């Protein structure tokens, strides 16, 4: 009941997550990740909603064979996979019983290749998504140096992760806030804004 009226609402239970604003002090660059975001594996019988690739594919008006999404047939082979590429903070879901500092440390190593002591991760704040899910994310900040880079990163290929590590200078991240040509989530923009307000 809500104000005396019965209301119905769809919801999706989503894992809690961590994300990190990562700053390389050796070269004054922020470290981000670039990856393909279908939302989930594209399967014949399952259309992932709330997914960057599908949303953007639909808006191209590409219409022929195969899968139907809300009455629109989409020929996925003719849609550029680039539509699903996003620029994001290094982030990971909380699916282990480690503390959040350990989880974010592990994620930074897997995705970006930096080995940073877990106590070096500063907790910034946490927030929730609103709408279909109410999932919580905790944001961290960490500094790294070139000496801490021990692998290429790139994510866990066996879990279907193929991640490019992207470095951007402070002038470049300032521009990114306004650059709508780059597909990026609000959390990335918040992380950059927090960094510019508190660390520059
Ligand atoms: O700038 C960002 C980056 C991520 N997220 C969110 O943070 C959550 C967790 O991040 P994600 O990178 O999706 O989690 P990972 O644990 O790194 O990877 C999961 O998602 C991958 C991509 O689907 C799968 O390959 C992995 O197996 C699965 O563990 C997700 O809800 C993201 O949408 C943000 O809000 N802002
Ligand atoms: Mg991730």
Burial class (CB in 10 A: 0-12, 13-18, 19+), 137: buried
* Residue 187 CB less than 6 A away from ligand 1: yes
Cα–Cα distance measured from residue 109 to residue 127, given in angstroms and rounded to the nearest whole number = 24
> Considering only CA atoms, which of 47, 76, 90 is closest in space to residue 185?
90
Query: Would you state the structure tokens that stand for residue 184, as one six-digit string?
Result: 């990026």
- Ligand 2 centroid, distance to 112 Cα (angstroms): 10
Question: Which protein residue's CA is at the shortest distance from atom 21 of ligand 1?
Answer: 161
Per-residue pLDDT, 82:
81
* Residue 137 CB less than 6 A away from ligand 1: yes
Query: How would residue 190 be classed by pLDDT, with cut points 50, 70 and 90?
Result: very high
**pTM for the full model?**
0.87
Per-residue pLDDT, 19:
98
Per-residue pLDDT, 72:
64
Least confident of 16-30, 120-134, 164-178: 120-134
Give pLDDT tens digits for 87-109: 999 999 998 888 999 999 999 99
Give pLDDT tens digits for 19-76: 999 999 999 999 999 998 874 444 444 443 346 777 776 776 655 445 666 666 666 6
* Residue 17 CB less than 6 A away from ligand 1: yes
How does strand 17-24 pair with strand 29-36? antiparallel
Count CB neighbours of 163 within 10 A: 21
The owner of tokens 């996003």 is 86
Per-residue pLDDT, 62:
59
Domains and CATH numbers, the chain: 17-37+85-198 (3.90.79.10)
- For residues 160-178, average pLDDT: 95
ipTM of the complex: 0.94
Examine the pLDDT at 147 and tell me if it is beyond 50.
yes
More confident of the two residues 4 and 121:
121
- For residues 117-134, average pLDDT: 94
DSSP letter at 5 equals: B
């Amino acid at each position: 009941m809500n104000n005396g009226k019965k209301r119905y609402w769809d919801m999706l239970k989503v894992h809690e997550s961590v994300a990190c604003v990562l700053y390389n002090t050796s070269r004054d660059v922020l470290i981000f990740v670039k990856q393909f975001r279908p939302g989930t594996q594209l399967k014949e019988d399952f259309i992932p909603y709330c997914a960057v690739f599908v949303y953007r594919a639909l808006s191209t008006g590409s219409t022929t064979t195969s899968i139907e999404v809300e009455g629109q047939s989409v020929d996925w082979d003719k849609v550029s996979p680039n539509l699903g590429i996003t620029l994001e903070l290094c982030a990971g879901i909380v699916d282990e019983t480690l503390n959040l500092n350990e989880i974010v440390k592990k994620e930074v190593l897997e995705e970006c290749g930096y080995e940073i002591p877990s106590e070096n991760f500063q907790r910034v704040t946490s927030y929730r998504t609103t709408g279909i899910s109410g999932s919580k994310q905790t944001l961290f900040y960490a500094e790294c140096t070139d000496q801490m880079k021990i692998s290429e990163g790139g994510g866990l290929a066996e879990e279907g992760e193929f991640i490019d590590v992207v470095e951007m200078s402070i002038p470049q991240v300032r521009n990114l806030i306004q650059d709508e040509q780059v597909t990026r989530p609000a959390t990335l923009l918040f992380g950059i804004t927090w960094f510019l307000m508190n660390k520059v």
